[in-house]
Structure 1
Amino acid sequence: MSSIQEKMAAALANKDLGNESFKQGDTKKALTQYHLAVLALSGLDNQMSGMPMMSSMHPQEGAATEEQRNEIKLNLAVVYANMAACHLKNANYKRAIEVCNSALKNDPNSVKAKFRRGQAKLGDGNLAGAEADFLSLGEKVPGVKAELEKIKKKSKEADEKQRKTMGGFLSRGRIITPEDEQEENSQSASSTSASASVPALAPAVKATPKSKPTLASKTTSQSRKPKPIPKEEEYTPSIWSGTAPKIQELAEGEE
């Protein structure tokens, strides 16, 4: 047995141990064994990539054939897909998507990796991405139809939640866009400024009924009547005729 075959067998042994642990429900131990398998297979793949063959008849010691390289990649895809099953069971959806991507990088046709990536996207809330993965497999693949039904149900629940959040606008066919909201705000501001420019009407003065005049009010009104201006007395010459003309002249305004 060559060194390549021995290393590959050791890696597959770790994979089998991981499978047994997963069946027993010990995902932590299973992930440990899968991780060891990935390290061994990845290192083997990198080693083979850096050792070119001397000739097609006598390859360099430690080099691998094309068939062995393909086998390593396929086994890597299987181990990564098994790791995804552990992450799905632990509801670690983002990590499950990552390892599924690694599996599909080694084997783009891995049905198990694509199916589990769809499950992980569904658990992570990416309904469109999950639907795309399941539809690419086709409904003939076992389990795909059931997963598509789950997506349909979750999509309906999301629509109902959005309708309640939007206050019924979606059910009436109206969706408030940022442009609509901006227009409503501008209209509200203009109406507010217009109402502020209109002067406020003075409150109506309530007429008070006239009261009958009392004796006190009559007395007050009579006491407030203006006094008559006394008439100017005509000048009568004094018995002293010598001074009377001079006083008369001053009264007429002469200096």
Structure 2
Amino acid sequence: MSHEEHLRIALEKKDVGNNYFKANDINQAMRAYHEAILYLRTMVPRPKKNGDGVSESAAARSATAVPPAILAEATTNLIAVYSNLAACHTKTEKWNRVIDCCNKALDYDPDHVRFAVELVATSTLAAPC
């Protein structure tokens, strides 16, 4: 399957997730978003963190062959899908999962202020009393 096909399917899954989210069917939205992530991760390499020793995955190695325009669109959409998934977990009050999704989005875009703010706000909700 080509990168273009992977991207097309991922965007379809994202749209399906958005429709489920609007219909307040959060479980189905999360399922669709997870499927979108699976397709997008085949094209977008996992960001390496400051020498944490994380080895490149097969997806990361194959991402080098992805044309720059497709890689940019896939990365943008991967960040958006993690944001959408965080919104789903917010509705279900699964704060640790919100934090995880925000962190994953920030891995791809460390300067994204909205995720950082959401992460700080959610961290206070997830902290044990």
- Between 38-47 and 94-103, report the one with greater CA deviation: 38-47
Does the Cα contact within 8 Å between 2:21 and 2:29 map onto a contact in 1? yes
C-alpha RMSD of matched pairs (Å)? 2.4
Name the SS for the 1:120 alignment partner: helix
Mark the runs of 5 or more structure 1 residues left unpaired by the alignment.
53-62, 127-157, 159-255
Q: Which has the higher contact order (CA 8 A, sep 6+)?
A: 2
SS of the aligned residue for 2:43 comes to: helix
* Deviation beyond 6 Å, 4+ runs, structure 1: none
Q: Distance in 2 between matches of 1:82 and 1:51?
A: 23
Which residue in 1 is equivalent to 2:42? 43
Matches within 5 A, 1:59-138: 63-125=65-127
Q: One-letter code of the match for 1:67? A: A
Rounded to whole Å, the distance in 2 between the matches of 1:70 and 1:51 is 11
The 2-side partners of 1:111 and 1:16 are apart by 24
The unaligned stretches of length 5 or more in structure 2 are 46-58
1:80-112 Cα distance to aligned partner (Å, 9 max, x none)? 111111111111101110111011111223334
Shift of 1:48: 6.6
Give the number of the structure whose residues are more often helix, by fraction: 2
Contact 2:21-2:88 within 8 A present in 1 as well: yes
Aligned residue pairs total 116
8 Å Cα contact 2:44/2:63 also seen in 1: no
2:2 maps to: 3
1:99–1:68 distance in 2 versus 1, CA, 3 Å: same
Normalising by structure 1, report the TM-score: 0.41
CA contact (8 A) 1:73 1:107 kept: no
C-alpha change, 1:18 and 1:111, in structure 2 (3 Å) is farther
Q: In the TM superposition, what is the alpha-carbon distance from 1:51 to its structure 2 partner?
A: 6.5
Q: Give the Cα separation in 1 of the matches to 2:120 and 2:78.
A: 19
